[in-house]
Amino acid sequence: MAAPSLLNWRRVSSFTGPVPRARHGHRAVAIRELMIIFGGGNEGIADELHVYNTVTNQWFLPAVRGDIPPGCAAHGFVCDGTRILVFGGMVEYGRYSNELYELQASRWLWKKVKPYPPSSGLPPCPRLGHSFSLYGNKCYLFGGLANESEDSNNNVPRYLNDFYELELQHGSGVVGWSIPVTKGIVPSPRESHTAVIYCRRDSGSPKMYVFGGMCGARLDDLWQLDLETMSWSKPETKGTVPLPRSLHTASVIGNKMYIFGGWVPHKGENIETSPHDCEWRCTSSFSYLNLDTAEWTTLVSDSQEDKKNSRPRPRAGHCAVAIGTRLYFWSGRDGYKKALNSQVCCKDLWYLDTEKPPAPSQVQLIKATTNSFHVKWDEVPTVEGYLLQLNTDLPYQAVSSDSSATPNMQGVRMDPHRQGSNSIIPNSISDTMNSAKSEHTAMKGTSLKNKPEPKASTDSNATLHSSLATNASNHNSCVVDMLRKNEGPHTSANIGVLSSCLDLRTVIPETSVSSTVSNAQTMVTQQTIKTESSSTNGAVVKDETSLTTFSTKSEVDETCALPATKISRVEAHAAVMPFSKETPSNPMTTMKAGERQWCDVGIFKNNTALVSQFYLLPKGKQSISKIGNADVPDYSLLKKQDLVPGTGYRFRVAAINGCGIGPFSKISEFKTCIPGFPGAPSAVRISKNVEGIHLSWEPPTSPSGNILEYSAYLAIRTAQIQDNPSQLVFMRIYCGLKTSCIVTAGQLANAHIDYTSRPAIVFRISAKNEKGYGPATQVRWLQGNNKKAPLN
């Protein structure tokens, strides 16, 4: 964590949509990138549900339905997946609730639920200011404030320290309350405290930590409950304990519990001599407790004054939400008096990055041309930009430093508050989160780096490999075009199409390797909503008369991003292919990638970049500017170099947030193209017929001459695949000029069912012109979740 002086608070100012009125006593939870706020009070108790999208900086009011609960304040509010539970709270002055409501956020549907009472004892009484914490399939209720009087206008407060367990049903609904038998000394009664649950990764049982609260006077004690043994204890802590407080927030990120704000004693007050009579005030102090070492660390002390408005002003009754490693704070009340009529509510929204962002996924190729790459990587939540770098074995030669000639730069200066440009009010949470099953096209890019394999084909017309060997002068020359959306007719067989461009042609050898090395590029694009991304694991290629082996070692790394983008990385070792004399002789060095200077492509706001140039960084002469706590060059002072055709470039990317630049991704390597070869076939469609299935496609959008023939391949079952499921074996099922073919039931009976994601049969289709075969389009035909024959 950064030192207190380096905390980089950000106030969000450029948001859109209906902003909720300022309030206190509200609660908030996070579902992915969404902050969901309910309840609270300010000139009446609020009953609306407000949602803030931290990616698009947009507020919206979802159209909720069902058993909509009354407005409440100081209630329990927890999130389990995409359902939210609300318990208790103040529904009007002096009248508290013990009702339980469930919100299915995927449909914005409210439902009042009635849990069974405990087998012995009474259910929880109406209350406010309690803690309500979720772990696994159980919620834990502790403490709060009850009203002993039946007259809501005659409030007789009773502080509580009772403890309940609420068992949840999977997905929706609850089972009932129970009263666990606990050991040890129970914490004193209190309300407006905080409780979080934390479990160490390496060992140990989950533990609930209760801090502070109010019981006539504010408290600063810390309690721990072991949820397996149900034993209470007071852990011994190191460091400076925060001042006694209530109405603060506690949030867990990693192994740290962050405490912010609340009501604390007035400066100079002796709370030990007059705890009930002293004055209290709001604070903006900020501390964390390391839950592994039990050590407190003060990040912003109570004595530090903020004269520049560079961090949230003092407040209590606010809400805090952790999204990734970023903390968001919204609203709350400000003031020095306890009297309600003197409170002023804050209207501001702030966030703070608590640590540097993790490394993004490897850079993936979307499209390659002779002098540019269109690349992409998985989004990292809550970041302000990405630093993309490359390195190459070619000597660096600077070109014009005219900053106007930088189409790849998407803005070095970023608006940290505006991370998305599309502001569309969603109808449901699934629309908002752009989940992997939403109606969005997802993309997966894959690069292959191929190494020698001694096997070769004996029939030059029979296999894809022989085509590659015959046309060894291809040198990765095709422009890999992004495929248009392909969606085959959906039938009872659950047909879905996943198309990919697969370039298996030879490229320039690296002289640092003693033997000939063949490199290839692959681009995979998810095309239909019923298809999940899959890795393109290199292949064994076979047809009716001969077999050629592509011995493949693959590494797949899949993650889900926002919006729904899955990217995988595959490295393959393919068969040896001789090189033509037409191979360009670019000057290469034997220097390893790690020994070459990494050059900046630029800083990009989004997770995609068009790369045609890069910046040269003279050693010791960089002009440094700041983005957050990150030192970055002043690109306007640097020289640039263009990309060169037929050349290999290594890429890596790092994310940037308020704490600085995070670690770099693993390295990816791509080569620019040489013109002349056809693009990949597109618009692939699959439909059933009496003979089997009808497979059709459109010619390449970039044929680069006349198309001489097409080849279609089917992944088939072999003992080799059973031993190594990551290696596919392909049999050629068609070769000709037509843009369609019939795949017979007999051929489909031998099809391999690929389970890398959802079960599917895999096809590949490629086009050939005068120079040779271009990249192949890969199609995944979804088969449902069973292992029946494809046409059953």
CATH number at residue 773: 2.60.40.10
* Total number of domains in the chain: 3
Using CB atoms within 10 A of its CB, is residue 260 exposed (0-12), middle (13-18) or buried (19+)?
buried
Does 177 share its domain with 301? yes
Q: How far is C-alpha 418 from the geometric centre of its chain's CA atoms?
A: 18
Distance (Å, rounded) from C-alpha 382 to C-alpha 698? Answer: 40
Distance (Å, rounded) from C-alpha 610 to C-alpha 603? Answer: 12
Is residue 29, in this structure, part of any structural domain at all? Answer: yes
Does 300 share its domain with 379? no
Task: Give me the CATH number covering residue 84.
Answer: 2.120.10.80
Is residue 307, in this structure, part of any structural domain at all? Answer: yes
Is residue 477, in this structure, part of any structural domain at all? Answer: no
Q: Dihedral through CA 142, CA 145, CA 151, CA 156, nearest 10?
A: 130
Q: How far is C-alpha 211 from the geometric centre of its chain's CA atoms?
A: 31
Contact at 8 Å (CB) between 26 and 319? Answer: yes
Point out the residues of the chain with pLDDT beneath 70: 1-6, 267-278, 305-308, 335-343, 397-595, 618-632, 720-726, 756-757, 785-792
Q: Tell me the C-alpha to C-alpha distance, in Å, between residue 146 and each of 94, 140, 157, 275, 543.
A: 9, 18, 6, 21, 78
Using CB atoms within 10 A of its CB, is residue 186 exposed (0-12), middle (13-18) or buried (19+)?
middle
Q: Tell me the C-alpha to C-alpha distance, in Å, between residue 650 and each of 281, 395, 589, 716.
A: 56, 14, 14, 34
Strands 109-113 and 65-66: parallel
CA atoms within a 13 Å half-sphere pointing along the CA-CB vector of 23: 25
Is residue 301, in this structure, part of any structural domain at all? Answer: yes
Is residue 568, in this structure, part of any structural domain at all? Answer: no
User: Which pair of tokens denotes residue 518?
Assistant: 């063949």
Contact at 8 Å (CB) between 178 and 150? Answer: no
Strand order in the sheet with 217-226: 194-198, 207-215, 217-226, 231-233
Does 669 share its domain with 690? no
User: Which pair of tokens denotes residue 454?
Assistant: 């001694």
Distance (Å, rounded) from C-alpha 585 to C-alpha 647? Answer: 10
Contact at 8 Å (CB) between 313 and 284? Answer: yes
Q: Of 329, 353, 377, which residue constitutes the final position of a domain?
A: 353
Q: Of 353, 371, 404, which residue constitutes the final position of a domain?
A: 353
Q: Tell me the C-alpha to C-alpha distance, in Å, between residue 310 and each of 5, 11, 53.
A: 11, 8, 23
Element (DSSP H or E) covering residue 73? none
- Which one, of 649, 650, 624, 619, lies nearest residue 635 by Cα? 624
By 3-state DSSP, what share of the chain in percent is helix, strand and coil, each rounded to 5?
Answer: 5, 40, 55
Contact at 8 Å (CB) between 370 and 674? Answer: yes
Contacts of 692 (CB under 8 A, 6+ apart): 742, 743, 744, 745, 746, 747, 748, 791
Contact at 8 Å (CB) between 250 and 242? Answer: no
Q: Is 268 helix (H, G, I), strand (E, B) or coil?
A: coil
Helical ranges in 360-506 per DSSP H: 429-433, 464-470
Is residue 556, in this structure, part of any structural domain at all? Answer: no
Q: Dihedral through CA 387, CA 390, CA 391, CA 394, nearest 10?
A: -140
Does 24 share its domain with 135? yes
Q: Is 636 helix (H, G, I), strand (E, B) or coil?
A: helix
Does 343 share its domain with 218? yes
Does 348 share its domain with 365? no
pLDDT of residue 587: 29
Please state whether the predicted TM-score (pTM) of the whole model is above 0.85.
no
- Which one, of 607, 448, 442, 608, lies nearest residue 525 by Cα? 442
Does 339 share its domain with 383? no
Q: Of 325, 353, 381, which residue constitutes the final position of a domain?
A: 353
Contact at 8 Å (CB) between 761 and 535? Answer: no
Q: How far is C-alpha 507 from the geometric centre of its chain's CA atoms?
A: 34
Contact at 8 Å (CB) between 408 and 609? Answer: yes
Does 656 share its domain with 722? no
Does 88 share its domain with 222? yes
Contacts of 603 (CB under 8 A, 6+ apart): 385, 386, 387, 388, 409, 411, 412, 414, 627, 632, 656
Does 163 share its domain with 238? yes
pLDDT of residue 173: 94
Distance (Å, rounded) from C-alpha 208 to C-alpha 22? Answer: 31
Does 665 share its domain with 761? no
Question: Nearest-5° angle of CA 748, CA 749, CA 755?
Answer: 80
Distance (Å, rounded) from C-alpha 182 to C-alpha 239? Answer: 29
- Which one, of 315, 342, 343, 353, lies nearest residue 331 by Cα? 315
Contact at 8 Å (CB) between 576 and 516? Answer: yes
Does 259 share its domain with 388? no
Residue range of the domain that includes 389: 356-393+598-617+638-674
Contacts of 543 (CB under 8 A, 6+ apart): 462, 463, 731, 732, 733
Is residue 41, in this structure, part of any structural domain at all? Answer: yes
Q: Is 373 helix (H, G, I), strand (E, B) or coil?
A: strand
Is residue 606, in this structure, part of any structural domain at all? Answer: yes
Contacts of 273 (CB under 8 A, 6+ apart): none
